[in-house]
Homo-oligomer: A and B are copies of this chain.
Amino acid sequence: MRAEQIRAEVIAIGDELLIGQTINTNAAWLGEQLNAIGIKVHRSTVISDDKSEIVNVLNESSSRSHIIIMTGGLGPTKDDITKHTLCDYFNTELVMNEEALMRITEFFERRGLPMLEVNRQQAALPAACSVIQNHRGTACGMWFEKGDRVFISMPGVPYEMKGMMEDEVFSKLASFYRRPVIRHRTILTTGVGESFLANLLVDWEKMLEERNIALAYLPSPGMVKLRMSSYSEGGRDVQEDFAACERELLNLVGEHVYGFDKDTLQQVIGDLLRSQGQTVAVAESCTGGTLGRLITSVPGSSDYFKGGVIAYANSIKTDLLAVESTLISEKNVVSHEVARAMATGARTQFGSDWAISTTGIAGPGGGTDTHPVGLIYVAVAGPNGCKSVELKLGKRRDNNMDMASFSGLNLLRKEILEQKGDF
């Protein structure tokens, strides 16, 4: 319809989001997906299930944006009022949608569940909208047009909303609007702080500016992501610009780069192991299963993951990982030596090429003067021996478990590369 930048807003409706009982993951997903098809989300708002709030935000957002995407407020229970407010806003009324009714009826029949009147009423939808069918749940979506504005309302359950976007809404938006090309390339680093990295990259950032590429530093626990963005409308070859900047970056700080874009450390390691025809096992004390969960979250990880021992009690370390009990009493269970013995023991026990181990004080309790909360040892045993690192982390249990696991995966990555001769 037009070549100007299409501006979208995401509006999430629900008190549960405002009082923090649910985290608004839908907005992040929608922003990412819309961006990928050249639609820029420039604002995202959360409001309560309240008629005047909904009307206000619809007026405000449609004054500055082309596309207004609403999520939430469509459940079968009493606290949802979005559908009636939309009827008033678009001056229309509810009519029974036969396709939706059939689908909802089937939904309950297939599950052998009783269908209630509140479920039946979910098929009553505004006459003025195009109905977006929901093939994963009972609340339908609605697509309204008003002038050149599009208003979309969908349920807040992430799985249902995502399905409706993928089944129908993305392609409908693509045919309604023409869009410029927005591209991103993200380089993932670990083991180096944001300011330190920025200082190494002063000249590199100038190279980006010359090419009209925007840069953002995105720090999160244990890593810093560098995101390059280019909003071009054709002309320069963005991919080639990205590639040139990326090559230069790898020259400068390549040792800290573990992946790109949506890569995760566990995927990178999975690919490395698979290409080497090697396997890994884990021996987890303070991480309690986190390493295993991370590794197995990758589809197909059974190709290279043998399994592990969660050695929480000391007796498990001696019985299942063949750690000498004298080593534990002499060196302390939280030590380089015990971490290495656990990794070596797991490698033997599981017959794997590699093994990662963790032992430490995850906190918040259990620390002593010599072994404070946050002291964690991580080891990797492999074909050429065993290496361990000491971590001095903070007091937050979940964070310590995550950081230690991340550190173990990164140590494995480096050891595999070294063994391959890539370092």
Contact = CB atoms under 8 A, between A and B. Distances in A.
Interface of A: 15-25, 27-33, 35, 40-48, 53, 60, 75-79, 113-114, 116, 118-119, 138, 157, 159, 184, 186, 193-196, 198-199, 205, 214-220, 225, 227, 229, 282, 284, 287-297, 299-302, 305-313, 316, 320, 349-350, 362-366, 396-399, 401
A177 to B, nearest CB: 18
Contact of A28 (B23, B41, B292): B23
Contacts of A216: 15-16, 79
Dominant secondary structure at the A interface: mixed
29 contacts: A15-B216, A15-B229, A19-B31, A19-B32, A20-B30, A21-B32, A21-B218, A23-B23, A43-B45, A60-B60, A75-B217, A76-B194, A77-B194, A78-B215, A287-B293, A288-B292, A288-B301, A289-B289, A292-B292, A292-B293, A297-B398, A302-B312, A306-B312, A306-B313, A306-B316, A307-B313, A308-B310, A308-B312, A309-B309
Contacts of A35: 19-20
Nearest to A45: B45
Given A289-B291, A289-B308, A292-B284, A20 B32 contact: yes
Contacts of A312: 296, 301-302, 305-308
Most buried by B among A28, A53, A184: A28
B44 A18 contact: yes
